[in-house]
Chains A and B, each alone.
Chain A
Amino acid sequence: MSQVLILVDSVGGQVSKSTGELATFGSRLGSVTAVVFEPALAAQLNGFSIANVVVVTGVDTSKYSPAPVAEALAQLITSKSATALLVTSSARGKEIAGMVAVISNSGLITDAIDVDADRITTQSVFGGGTTVHSAVTTPTAVITMRSNSIEVVAGSGTPTQEEFAPTISEAAKLAVVNSTEPAVKGGRPELTEASIVVSGGRGTNGDFKPIEALADVLGAAVGASRAATDAGWYPHTHQVGQTGKTVSPQLYVACGISGAIQHRAGMQTSKLIVAVNKDPEAPIFELSDFGVVGDLFNVLPVATAAITAKKA
Chain B
Amino acid sequence: MKIAVCVKQVPDSWAEKKMSGQVLDRAGVDAVLNDLDEYAVEEALRIVEAHSPTKEAGEGSGHTITLISMGPERATEAIRKALSMGADNAIHISDDALAGSDALATSLVLAKVISTEGFDLVICGTESTDARMSVVPAMLAQRLGWAALTFAGSVIVEPENSKVLIARSTEFGVENMSAAFPVVVSVNEKINEPRYPSFKGIMAAKKKTITAKSLSDLGIAASAVGASAAWSSVKDSLLRPARSSGIKVEDSGDGGNQLAAFLAEKRVI
15 A-B pairs within 8 Å (CB atoms) are namely A9-B171, A94-B134, A95-B137, A98-B103, A101-B135, A103-B142, A126-B24, A127-B17, A280-B248, A287-B245, A291-B247, A294-B255, A298-B253, A299-B251, A299-B256
Taking a contact as CB atoms closer than 8 A, the residue among B16, B36, B148 that contacts A67 in the complex is B148
Taking a contact as CB atoms closer than 8 A, the residue among A9, A111, A131, A274 that contacts B238 in the complex is A131
CB neighbours of B255 from chain A (8 A): 276, 292-294, 298-299, 302-303
**Nearest opposing residue in chain B for A301, CB measure:** B256
* Among all A-B residue pairs, the 5 with the closest Cβ atoms: A294-B251, A302-B256, A107-B231, A98-B135, A306-B260
Assess the A137–B134 pair: CB atoms within 8 A: no
Query: Chain B: residues with CB nearer than 8 A to chain A?
Result: 13-14, 16-19, 24, 35-36, 102-104, 107, 126, 129, 132-139, 141-143, 145-151, 165, 169-180, 183, 189-190, 230-240, 243, 245-251, 253-264, 266, 268-269
Contact indicator per residue, chain A 262-279, by CB within 8 Å of chain B (1) or not (0): 100000100011101000
Distance (Å) between the CB of A230 and the closest chain B CB?
9
Distance (Å) between the CB of B26 and the closest chain A CB?
12
- A125–B16 Cα gap in the complex (Å)? 11
In the complex, whether A86 has a CB less than 8 A from a CB of chain B is no
Distance (Å) between the CB of B226 and the closest chain A CB?
14
How would you classify the secondary structure of chain A's contact residues: helix, strand, loop or mixed? mixed
* A67-B142, A174-B146, A218-B269 as given contacts; A136 in contact with B232, CB under 8 Å: yes
- A133–B264 Cα gap in the complex (Å)? 35
- A182–B268 Cα gap in the complex (Å)? 32
- A11–B257 Cα gap in the complex (Å)? 37
**Nearest opposing residue in chain A for B237, CB measure:** A132
- A102–B263 Cα gap in the complex (Å)? 46
Contact indicator per residue, chain A 101-114, by CB within 8 Å of chain B (1) or not (0): 11101111111000
Interface segment among A26-34, A149-157, A160-168, A235-243: the answer is A235-243
Distance (Å) between the CB of B269 and the closest chain A CB?
5
* A177-B175, A218-B269 as given contacts; A305 in contact with B238, CB under 8 Å: no
- A298–B172 Cα gap in the complex (Å)? 36
Assess the A102–B249 pair: CB atoms within 8 A: no
* A132-B19, A174-B147, A243-B189 as given contacts; A95 in contact with B135, CB under 8 Å: yes
In the complex, whether A190 has a CB less than 8 A from a CB of chain B is yes
Taking a contact as CB atoms closer than 8 A, the residue among B142, B172, B190 that contacts A102 in the complex is B142
Assess the A299–B259 pair: CB atoms within 8 A: yes
CB neighbours of B238 from chain A (8 A): 130-131
In the complex, whether A97 has a CB less than 8 A from a CB of chain B is yes
Extra A-B contacts (19), CB below 8 Å, given A96-B138, A132-B234: A92-B171, A94-B133, A94-B138, A102-B142, A108-B135, A129-B240, A134-B232, A138-B231, A171-B145, A174-B146, A175-B177, A179-B175, A181-B174, A288-B245, A290-B262, A291-B245, A291-B247, A292-B248, A302-B253
* A98-B139, A250-B268 as given contacts; A92 in contact with B170, CB under 8 Å: yes
**Nearest opposing residue in chain B for A193, CB measure:** B171
- A301–B254 Cα gap in the complex (Å)? 11
Assess the A102–B259 pair: CB atoms within 8 A: no
- A242–B126 Cα gap in the complex (Å)? 12
Distance (Å) between the CB of A201 and the closest chain B CB?
17
CB neighbours of B137 from chain A (8 A): 95
**Nearest opposing residue in chain A for B252, CB measure:** A294
Assess the A306–B173 pair: CB atoms within 8 A: no
Assess the B237–A131 pair: CB atoms within 8 A: yes
Indicate the member of B172, B179, B261 with the most A CB atoms within 10 Å: B172
In the complex, whether A285 has a CB less than 8 A from a CB of chain B is yes
In the complex, whether A124 has a CB less than 8 A from a CB of chain B is yes
- A280–B251 Cα gap in the complex (Å)? 11
**Nearest opposing residue in chain A for B167, CB measure:** A181
CB neighbours of B126 from chain A (8 A): 91
Distance (Å) between the CB of B128 and the closest chain A CB?
11
Assess the A136–B231 pair: CB atoms within 8 A: yes
In the complex, whether A60 has a CB less than 8 A from a CB of chain B is no
CB neighbours of B18 from chain A (8 A): 126, 129-130
Distance (Å) between the CB of A125 and the closest chain B CB?
8
- A130–B35 Cα gap in the complex (Å)? 22
- A11–B172 Cα gap in the complex (Å)? 6
Indicate the member of A136, A137, A293, A294 with the most B CB atoms within 10 Å: A294
